């Protein structure tokens, strides 16, 4: 496992280094130069093709896994992931692929996983629903496509600050790898280590300096792999509760659900209408009050990066309990509910300026 992690990390790290070093050759296509958009919180144009290092790191790690385990199974997993990555990566280069085509691409990727790998949701540990899923394969396929596509899209939504989605993904893959170890699913655990190495190699350049962004290609690839590995873990190991992966990803998933509710019913806007009211954006604007008056790029980048650890802590409140109770469905269900209530409570406190003082990071630069 260490060999797989290191190879993936080196491949990702090296690719990231080359992309940053020779950014002037591809900046015309790859840089995110819009620093004034409603959902933009970086100071200078930055390459947004960090999905490429992650993908190459994953390929390297999975190739070694396939060689060590004498299996082509992981190569089929890479083939399944390609549509999700490709749609996002093309958007990173052209800025012309909307959210719907990217979401549809993840549905296609999930369908490939269903037929090539048997990666289907056949149980939720809810008797009536499990019966229906067992009798109607197309219903299982539909649920799998929606679940996998939803998680991929959710990870893209929280990909707003340096290190945020990447480190949350590291937490999740560590949890999945732990459960893989518990059930002795070695091949699936090797995929987790390949993803860990690929993400860590990228994060070296992304956090805290923000030298490269994951972009839609990276976010959709990470989200798809989280969802697909989770589906495979549950499908291949009856001892694992299907609520284990749900609790692991409840932060980005509920962020997405709450955003849909907020836009549709509270604001009366289209679901896809962009705004700056996600939880991570509220944390940035009302809790990370660091050098607020400064216009220097280094101060803006520093404030950007200081936002992510708040959300890392929030994500850990779901991932750690999920690891502890990975085979106890009713406890996991209760923990999902508790996390949702805690999220809503935190969001309400921030909106109404009732955040405890000890949670607010201050340094005023208005006098400069």
Residues of each annotated binding site for Mg(2+):
156, 216
Angle subtended by helix axes 73-94 and 186-206, to nearest 10: 30
CA dihedral 29→34→40→41, nearest 10 degrees, is 100
Per-residue CA distances from 296 to 74, 150, 173, 287, 365 (Å):
45, 37, 36, 20, 11
Which helix or strand (DSSP H or E) is residue 31 part of?
Answer: strand 31-32
CA distance linking residue 172 with residue 181, whole number of Å: 14
Dihedrals phi, psi of 289, to nearest 5 degrees = -95, 65
- Token pair listed for 5: 């992690």
CA distance linking residue 12 with residue 220, whole number of Å: 17
Give the end-to-end CA distance of the chain in Å, rounded to a whole number: 51
- Residue identified by tokens 């280590």 is 193
- Residue 136, classed as helix, strand or coil, is coil
Question: Would you say 282 and 300 are in contact if contact means Cβ atoms under 8 Å apart?
Answer: no
């Amino acid at each position: 496992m260490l060999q797989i992690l290191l190879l993936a990390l080196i491949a990702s790290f090296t690719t990231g280094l080359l992309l940053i070093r020779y950014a002037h050759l591809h900046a015309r296509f790859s840089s995110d130069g819009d620093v004034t958009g409603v959902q933009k919180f970086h100071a200078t144009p930055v390459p947004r093709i960090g999905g490429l290092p992650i993908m190459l790191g994953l390929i390297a790690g999975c190739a070694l896994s396939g060689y060590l385990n004498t299996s082509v199974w992981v190569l089929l997993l890479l083939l399944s992931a390609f549509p999700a990555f490709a749609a996002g990566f093309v958007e990173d280069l052209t800025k012309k692929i909307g959210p719907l085509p990217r979401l549809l691409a993840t549905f296609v990727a999930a369908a490939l996983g269903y037929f090539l790998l048997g990666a289907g949701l056949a149980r939720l540990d809810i008797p009536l629903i499990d019966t229906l899923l067992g009798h109607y394969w197309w219903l299982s396929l539909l649920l799998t496509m929606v679940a996998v596509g939803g998680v991929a899209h959710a990870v893209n939504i929280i990909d707003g600050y340096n290190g945020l989605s990447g480190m949350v993904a590291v937490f999740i893959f560590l949890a999945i790898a732990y459960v893989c170890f518990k059930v002795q699913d070695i091949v699936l655990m090797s995929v987790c280590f390949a993803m860990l190495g690929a993400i860590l190699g990228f994060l070296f350049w992304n956090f805290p300096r923000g030298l490269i962004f994951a972009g839609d290609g990276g976010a959709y690839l990470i989200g798809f792999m989280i969802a697909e590995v989770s589906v495979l873990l549950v499908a291949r190991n009856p001892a694992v509760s299907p609520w284990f992966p749900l609790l692991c990803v409840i932060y980005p998933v509920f962020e997405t659900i709450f955003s849909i509710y907020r836009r549709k019913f509270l604001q009366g806007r289209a679901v896809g209408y962009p705004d700056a009211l996600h939880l991570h954006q509220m944390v940035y604007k009302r809790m990370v009050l660091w050098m607020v008056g400064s216009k220097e790029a280094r101060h803006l980048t520093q404030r950007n990066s200081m936002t992510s650890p708040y959300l890392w802590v929030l994500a850990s409140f779901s991932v750690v309990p999920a690891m502890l109770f990975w085979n106890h469905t009713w406890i996991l269900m209760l923990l999902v509910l508790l996390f949702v209530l805690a999220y809503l409570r935190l969001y309400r406190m921030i909106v109404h300026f009732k955040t405890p003082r000890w949670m607010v990071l201050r340094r005023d630069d208005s006098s400069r």
